[in-house]
Structure 1
Amino acid sequence: MSDTTRQKAEAALVELETVTAVELAEPVDADAIVPLEKADAPLSAEITRRIAELDMSDTNSIVSFGSGAQAELQEISQAMLQDVRNKDVGPAGDSLRNIVTTIRGFSVSELDVRRERSFWEKLLGRAAPFAKFTARYEEVQGQIDKITDNLLNHEHKLLKDIKSLDLLYDKTLNFYDELALYIAAGEAKIADLDATDIPTAEAAVQEADENAQVMKAQELRDLRAARDDLERRVHDLKLTRQVTMQSLPSIRLVQENDKSLVTKINSTLVNTVPLWETQLAQAVTIQRSAEAAAAVRDANDLTNELLTSNAKNLRDTNKMVREEMERGVFDIEAVKQANADLIATINESLQIADEGKARRAAAEEEMKKMEAELRDTLAAAKARQTGLGDTTAGAVPKA
Structure 2
Amino acid sequence: MSENVRQQAEKSLAEVEQINAVVLPEPKEATAVVSLKEADAPVSAEIRKRMDEIDMTDTQSIVSFGSAAQAELQTISQAMLTDVRNKDVGPAGDSLRSIVSTIRGFSVSELDVRRERSWWEKLLGRAAPFAKFTAQFETVQAQIDKITDNLLTHEHTLLKDIKSLDVLYEKTLNFYDELALYIAAGEAKIEEMDAEVIPAKEAEVNAAPEDEQVMKAQELRDLRAARDDLERRVHDLKLTRQVTMQSLPSIRLVQENDKSLVTKINSTLVNTVPLWETQLAQAVTIQRSAEAAAAVRDANDLTNELLTANAKNLRESNTMIRTEMERGVFDIEAVKQANADLIGTIEESLKIADEGKAKRAAAEADLKKMEADLRDTLASAKARKDGTGDVAATSVPR
Superposition TM-score, scaled by structure 1 size: 0.69
1:140 and 2:135 correspond: no
Distance 2:236 2:144 in 1: 53
Are the aligned partners of 1:115 and 1:129 in contact in 2 as well (CA < 8 Å)? no
What displacement does 1:272 show?
Answer: 0.3
In angstroms, what is the RMSD of aligned CA positions? 2.8
CA–CA separation in structure 1 for the residues paired with 2:78 and 2:268: 33
Q: Is contact 1:73–1:171 with CA below 8 Å preserved after alignment?
A: no
Query: Within 2, Cα distance between the matches of 1:126 and 1:82?
Result: 55
The secondary structure found in structure 1 opposite 2:65 is coil
Q: Equivalents in 1 of 2:297, 2:109: separation in Å?
A: 21
Amino acid at match of 2:283: A
Q: d(CA) in 2 for partners of 1:125 and 1:59? A: 91
CA distance in 1, matches of 2:298, 2:111: 18
CA contact (8 A) 2:80 2:251 kept: no
| Distance apart, 1:202 and its partner CA | 1.7
Q: Which residue of 1 aligns with 2:271?
A: 271
Moved more, 144-153 or 211-220: 211-220
Change (3 A) 1:123 1:231: farther
1:153 shift after superposition: 1.4
CA distance in 2, matches of 1:133, 1:148: 22
Which residue identity lines up with residue 179 of structure 1 in the other structure?
L
Q: Per-residue deviation at 1:86?
A: 3.6
Asked whether the equivalents of residues 113 and 130 of structure 1 are also in contact (C-alpha less than 8 Å), the reply is no
Instruction: Kindly state the Cα deviation for residue 85 of structure 1 after the two structures are TM-superposed.
Output: 3.8
Q: Which amino acid counterpart does residue 102 of structure 1 have in structure 2?
A: T
Structure 2 counterpart of 1:156, one-letter code: H
Q: Deviations over 1:52-77 (max 9, x none)?
A: 11112222222221222244554455
Q: Which residue of 2 aligns with 1:286?
A: 286
Alignment of 1:63-102 (within 5 A): 63-79=63-79, 85-102=85-102
What's the TM-score, normalizing by structure 2? 0.69
1:373-388 equivalences under 5 Å are none
Unaligned runs of 5+ in 2: 305-398
Q: Contact 2:130–2:291 at 8 Å: present in 1 too?
A: no
The alpha carbon displacement at 1:93 in A equals 1.8
Answer with 231-240 or 203-212: which moved more.
203-212
Alpha-carbon distance, 1:102 to partner: 1.6
Distance 1:177 1:38 in 2: 16
Q: Distance in 1 between matches of 2:83 and 2:241?
A: 27
Uncovered stretches (5+) of structure 1, i.e. residues with no partner:
306-399
Percent identical residues? 81
Does 1:257 find its partner at 2:257?
Answer: yes
Counterpart contact for 1:95–1:150, Cα < 8 Å: yes
Higher Rg: 1
Alignment of 1:7-86 (within 5 A): 7-79=7-79, 85-86=85-86
| Distance in 2 between residues matched to 1:55 and 1:83, nearest whole Å | 38
CA shift at 1:133, angstroms? 2.6
Q: 1:294 to 1:36 in 2, by over 3 A?
A: same
Q: Is the 1:36–1:44 Cα contact (8 Å) retained in structure 2?
A: yes
Question: Aligned-pair distance for 1:208?
Answer: 2.5
Query: Structure 1 residue 242: deviation in Å?
Result: 1.5
The 3 A distance-change label for structure 1 pair 221 and 123 is: farther
Give the whole-Å Cα distance in 1 for the aligned partners of 2:295 and 2:104: 29
Whether the aligned pair in 1 keeps the contact of 2:130 and 2:288 (CA below 8 Å) is: no
Q: Secondary structure at the match of 1:106?
A: coil
